[in-house]
Amino acid sequence: MIIRSTSSVQVGIDASRAVRARRTGTERYSLEIIRHLLALPEAAGHRFRLYAQTQPPVTPEQPFWGDPRVEVCVLPARRLWTHTALAWEVARRRPDVLFVPSHVIPFLPPVLLPPAVVTLHDVGYRRFPAAHTASQRLYLDISTRWSSSVARQVIAPSQATAQDLTRFYATPAAKIQVIYEAAEIYRGDAENAEKNSALPPRIPRLRGEKTPYALYVGTIQPRKNLARLIDAYALLVQRHGIDWDLVIAGGRGWLGDQFQSQVAGLGLGERVHFPGYVADEALPALWRGALFFAFPSLYEGFGLPVLEAQEMGVAVMTSNNSSLPEVAGDAALLVDPNDVEAIADAMLRLSRDEALRQELIAKGYENVNRFSWEKAARETLAVLEAAARKDR
């Protein structure tokens, strides 16, 4: 149901994650939800104040420029930006509603805090504490507890995350709105199509120009279950002499260095490739060259790369836990992420069964139609308008 505003609303948005040059899942979500909020006809009468730590770059993809409804508020601060610069600004110039799409609500006395809506993406640190430092776990726990407590409404990207918030933080189900994300692959314009059709220079020094590869895209960290993925690949090399490589693309997270050592120890340095973070404009060529997508993550609040793979026509293998079955639908091979043999078996099937691959590709195209950034933005706007009205 669309809730239409009868008066103009001043929407303040923490855009600090949206303007980052290197974007992972939460940064991508922040940018896309802001971009699509501004594009909604229903939002034409509203005003938007976007808070950032630094001046956003002037690029075609940024929604901040040339819109008379938008005020970009740059708030420099070296440390604790949310709880110092942003907190001071929203208390001093109070918007009708504050939206925090990818971070934490400022620590302010409730009397000074505007009506707030926050997106809480996951509580993976509760399920897999070993994947985070002690200080990270403490901050995430405190900030999530605070945000879920003081927010007028909480947006969760999946039913799985909504259930986790109720389980770990007793967030009332009535306070949580599940709003799915969507895939938005950067394809570039026609002028740059030829340039974007080639693999990025760091993608892989493959053994032959047409060597196929399985692909992982995401942060390089233990929670993504890369150790078992590499072990499964090693089993296939040893047992079946497979002729395809493995590309593990993404920026390094905490404890991310261990996987290259693991690969070296297995003698797979020429078969497993770590190109690092791949910029948005280079991703389409990376997806197009993949034999299949391997994403046996231990936990995901949404699992956006699964949809990106499906949108790009790549067959998917992913985990049977958390939000991943919810997002992948019937368009993926689901495996127990703790079972190396199961991961290896699924990878082997996808590399050898062309009929299965084509079936999953076709189902993937259908599955992504369930998700839309426009729909997500429309549902988010309804939540923001309702939160603003409660304070009037």
Cα–Cα distance, 201 to 208 (Å, whole number): 15
**SS3 of 375, please?**
helix
Handedness of CA 17, 21, 24, 30 (dihedral sign): positive
Cα–Cα distance, 254 to 125 (Å, whole number): 13
Whether 293 contacts 314, CB under 8 Å: yes
Cα–Cα distance, 350 to 291 (Å, whole number): 8
Whether 252 contacts 224, CB under 8 Å: no
* Block residue for tokens 């993949």: 290
pLDDT at 280: 79
**SS3 of 57, please?**
coil
pLDDT at 198: 56
Phi and psi at residue 216, to the nearest 5°: -120, 135
Going along the chain from its start, the domains and CATH numbers come out as 10-182+372-389 (3.40.50.2000), 190-368 (3.40.50.2000)
- Amino acid residing at 76: P
Cα–Cα distance, 327 to 181 (Å, whole number): 10
Whether 152 contacts 117, CB under 8 Å: yes
In degrees, rounded to 5, the angle at the alpha carbon of residue 142 between the alpha carbons of residues 136 and 147 is 120
Neighbours of 374 (CB within 10 A): 12
* Block residue for tokens 């991508």: 28
Estimate to the nearest angstrom the gap between the alpha carbon of 63 and the chain centroid: 19
Question: 316, 212, 315: which is closest to 271 by C-alpha?
Answer: 212
Question: 49, 86, 157: which is closest to 380 by C-alpha?
Answer: 157
* Block residue for tokens 């947006």: 155
pLDDT at 357: 97
pLDDT at 62: 65
Residue 71, CB-side half-sphere exposure with 13 Å CA sphere: 11
In degrees, rounded to 5, the angle at the alpha carbon of residue 32 between the alpha carbons of residues 46 and 299 is 130
Structure-token pair, residue 200: 């990025």
Whether 59 contacts 65, CB under 8 Å: no
Structure-token pair, residue 373: 């950034």
Angle between the 354-368 and 304-311 helix axes, to the nearest 10 degrees? Answer: 110
Cα–Cα distance, 102 to 30 (Å, whole number): 6
Adjacent-strand bridge partners of 73 = 51
Handedness of CA 125, 126, 131, 136 (dihedral sign): positive
Question: 92, 125, 89: which is closest to 14 by C-alpha?
Answer: 89
What number of residues does the chain have?
Answer: 392
pLDDT tens for each residue of the chain, 392 residues long? 344 445 899 999 999 988 876 667 788 899 999 999 999 999 999 999 999 998 877 666 666 677 889 999 999 887 889 999 999 999 999 999 999 998 899 999 999 999 999 999 999 889 888 777 888 899 999 999 999 999 999 999 999 999 999 999 999 999 999 999 998 765 443 334 444 445 555 555 454 457 899 999 998 988 899 999 999 999 999 999 999 999 999 988 777 688 999 999 999 999 999 999 888 788 899 999 999 999 999 999 999 999 999 999 999 999 999 999 999 999 999 999 999 999 999 999 999 999 999 999 999 999 999 999 999 999 999 999 999 987 55
Whether 390 contacts 153, CB under 8 Å: no
**SS3 of 177, please?**
strand
